[in-house]
Chains A and B, each alone.
Chain A
Amino acid sequence: MAAFGVLAEYATPADLFRACERVREAGYTRWDAHTPFPVHGLDRAMGMRRSRLPWIILVVGLGGAAGGFVLQWWVHNAAYPLTISGKPHFAWPAYVPITFELGVLGGALAAVLGMLGLNQLPRHHHPLFEVERFSRCSDDRFFISIEASDPRFDAVATRQLLERSGAAAVEMVEDPA
């Protein structure tokens, strides 16, 4: 079996934070940290760029709102205009509630589906799930994984870097695929 990479375990968020800075400074790109909850400031420590998700949400949300408004306009002004309570056919204030709601729905769906898409989830199988100690990543332990496909990966040097970064344990991970 090929190697997936190396996994290091840490006891506290502070240890993890310092180790992430070291890994980033060493120039690795295909690596990740794993935590049971989001750790404040870790994005910067890992050198990550800001997420594109807000733009996706804005566009889809506005699209939803526009779609809702057009639907109502079309129904009441083109498809089957009716005079209701003596108001003009283009009673735009009355279109506002549904327009707003559909905009929110669009934004919410974009947020969730966009987030899952950008995270490439669902993904029920991953080499890290085969590692016994990794089950604590959803409980109270923090991990760094550096993939073998990273250009700077070296079985010995990478492992040493992690061992010296304050890790409580370091382990090589096989790729069962």
Chain B
Amino acid sequence: MIARDQVTVPAGHWLTRLPWVAGGVGVLATALSLVLASGNPRQFAFSWLLAFLFFASLAIGGMYFVLVHYATQAGWGVVVRRLAENMMGTIPLLALLFLPIVWQMRELFPWVNALADGDDHLIAAKAPYLNTRFFLVRAAVYFTVWVAIALLFARRSRAQDRTGGTAISLALKRISAPALIALALTQTFAAFDWIMSLDPTWYSTIFGVYWFAGSFVSTFAFLVLAIVVLRSAGLMKDVITLEHFHDLGKLLFAFTVFWAYIGFSQFFLIWYGNIPEETIFFRERLEGSWRAMSFLLAAGHFAVPFFFFMPRSIKRKPGLLALGAGWMLLMHFVDMYWLVMPAMHPHGVHIGLSDLAAFAAVGGLFAAVFGRLCAGSALVPVRDPRLAESLSFENV
């Protein structure tokens, strides 16, 4: 059995102060962002969208992890699942943080104005889908579905800490599959709405999968970092073993490759077909310093991590694994930047104060909520029927 003090953050521990600090940073950075917004609303809108997308991908990735865990009746991951639940628990906050994007919609999405101007024939053809009202209705649907799933799974999992038994596990297993379908569809269309429609003339059927792939990599990366932080604070010592790190490392490796596969499929098919209305996406990203960022992405998000995460020995050294995980989170941010920003800065990479402020704002608030969720309950589902299996499992 596990010692309770290993899996609960004690009152007064420095970890309990972290969320407040993060929250403070978040609030201040939000204020700074808004100040900057008054001078350059377009830059604010893009910076905020970018930061929002990065942290939304963590929350959504956490949701995928939890749902897949239940659907596959996995055993190894029980000790990690509560942290993933806490990641998805930030969805209500993110719904709130979506509002600035709604506020600045016309700065972000060309189709908002094009409809009013009425002179772009192609965008007008898409008007039944790309119009403000339907966009907002869809966003409301996405967040409703996500909040519903997040609250249901997180609450029932916490309830099981008190009741124990298999009934809750069974019930969640049954809903997990339909929930996954709902998540996949809403996330795909969110990718279309919030990222792909930044250039409304461009399209790619694999785009939803691409955002999913990047999100899932960063989920495992975030989990590794969260665990390392908790262990450095003296918690979870015998609960999360080298075996779990090894598995998270394997998943990091596998999904790094998966991301590259999806990304390359998209690039390669568009490159080969050479049709101008499709190739524009990549031509923009080979312009000026965007070219360097594209190479950074290929090398840093795939080639280097591929060899880094391959050896067994690295996956079993938490310090090195955490280094790799941190790098993957940075690369995911670069990926998001590369997707979003060319619409704002077509001639080159242009990182500014607005980007940093928005990141600190959304990130601070995200960390605050995540931290509070961690501190507010046990760090592992203490009465999950598969907990014993998870604690004792060994890799080959």
A and B touch in the complex (CB under 8 A): yes
- The interface of chain A, by Cβ under 8 A from chain B, is 85-87, 93-94, 96
Decide if A96 touches B264 in the complex (CB within 8 Å).
yes
Decide if A93 touches B274 in the complex (CB within 8 Å).
no
Which chain A residues lie closer than 8 Å to B272 at the CB level? 85, 93-94
Nearest residue (CB) in A for B268 is: A93
CB distance from A93 to the nearest CB of B (A): 5
- Check B271 for interface membership: any CB of A closer than 8 A: yes
Decide if A96 touches B274 in the complex (CB within 8 Å).
no
Decide if B274 touches A85 in the complex (CB within 8 Å).
yes
Which chain B residues lie closer than 8 Å to A85 at the CB level? 272, 274
Which chain B residues lie closer than 8 Å to A96 at the CB level? 264, 268
Q: Identify the 10 closest CB pairs spanning chains A and B, nearest first.
A: A93-B268, A93-B271, A85-B274, A86-B274, A94-B272, A93-B267, A96-B264, A96-B268, A93-B272, A87-B274
CB distance from A50 to the nearest CB of B (A): 9
Complexed CA–CA distance, A93 and B272 (Å): 9
A-B contact pairs, 11 of them (CB 8 A): A85-B272, A85-B274, A86-B274, A87-B274, A93-B264, A93-B267, A93-B268, A93-B272, A94-B272, A96-B264, A96-B268
Which chain A residues lie closer than 8 Å to B271 at the CB level? 93
Complexed CA–CA distance, A94 and B272 (Å): 8
Find the residue from A85, A93, A94 having the highest chain B CB count within 10 A: A93
Could you give, for residues 267-288 of chain B, a 1 whenever the CB lies within 8 Å of some chain A CB and a 0 otherwise? 1100110100000000000000
Using C-beta atoms within 8 Å of the partner chain, give the interface range for chain B: under 10
Known pairs A85-B272, A93-B264, A93-B271; list 4 more (Cβ under 8 Å): A86-B274, A87-B274, A93-B267, A94-B272
Chain B at the A interface: SS class: helix
- The interface of chain B, by Cβ under 8 A from chain A, is 264, 267-268, 271-272, 274
Complexed CA–CA distance, A87 and B272 (Å): 9
Complexed CA–CA distance, A116 and B271 (Å): 43
Complexed CA–CA distance, A86 and B279 (Å): 14
Which chain B residues lie closer than 8 Å to A93 at the CB level? 264, 267-268, 271-272
Complexed CA–CA distance, A69 and B345 (Å): 36
Nearest residue (CB) in A for B311 is: A54
Nearest residue (CB) in B for A86 is: B274
Complexed CA–CA distance, A44 and B267 (Å): 47
Nearest residue (CB) in B for A50 is: B312
Complexed CA–CA distance, A146 and B271 (Å): 63
CB distance from B302 to the nearest CB of A (A): 12
Which chain B residues lie closer than 8 Å to A87 at the CB level? 274
Complexed CA–CA distance, A86 and B274 (Å): 9
Which chain B residues lie closer than 8 Å to A94 at the CB level? 272
CB distance from A54 to the nearest CB of B (A): 8
Complexed CA–CA distance, A96 and B264 (Å): 10
Complexed CA–CA distance, A85 and B267 (Å): 17
CB distance from A87 to the nearest CB of B (A): 8
Complexed CA–CA distance, A87 and B274 (Å): 9
CB distance from B368 to the nearest CB of A (A): 44
Complexed CA–CA distance, A96 and B263 (Å): 14
Which chain A residues lie closer than 8 Å to B268 at the CB level? 93, 96
Complexed CA–CA distance, A85 and B274 (Å): 9
CB distance from B65 to the nearest CB of A (A): 28
CB distance from B378 to the nearest CB of A (A): 31
Complexed CA–CA distance, A132 and B274 (Å): 69
Complexed CA–CA distance, A31 and B203 (Å): 64
CB distance from B285 to the nearest CB of A (A): 15
Complexed CA–CA distance, A94 and B268 (Å): 8
Nearest residue (CB) in A for B267 is: A93
Complexed CA–CA distance, A96 and B274 (Å): 17
Which chain A residues lie closer than 8 Å to B264 at the CB level? 93, 96
CB distance from A9 to the nearest CB of B (A): 27
CB distance from A143 to the nearest CB of B (A): 23
CB distance from B286 to the nearest CB of A (A): 13
Complexed CA–CA distance, A96 and B268 (Å): 10
CB distance from B293 to the nearest CB of A (A): 18
CB distance from A86 to the nearest CB of B (A): 7
Nearest residue (CB) in A for B396 is: A40
CB distance from A57 to the nearest CB of B (A): 11
Complexed CA–CA distance, A113 and B271 (Å): 38
CB distance from A117 to the nearest CB of B (A): 22
Which chain A residues lie closer than 8 Å to B274 at the CB level? 85-87
CB distance from B260 to the nearest CB of A (A): 11
Complexed CA–CA distance, A69 and B336 (Å): 31
Complexed CA–CA distance, A85 and B268 (Å): 14
Nearest residue (CB) in A for B264 is: A96
Nearest residue (CB) in B for A62 is: B307
Complexed CA–CA distance, A28 and B261 (Å): 49
CB distance from A100 to the nearest CB of B (A): 10
Complexed CA–CA distance, A8 and B155 (Å): 57
CB distance from A104 to the nearest CB of B (A): 13
Complexed CA–CA distance, A10 and B67 (Å): 45
CB distance from A13 to the nearest CB of B (A): 16
Nearest residue (CB) in B for A94 is: B272
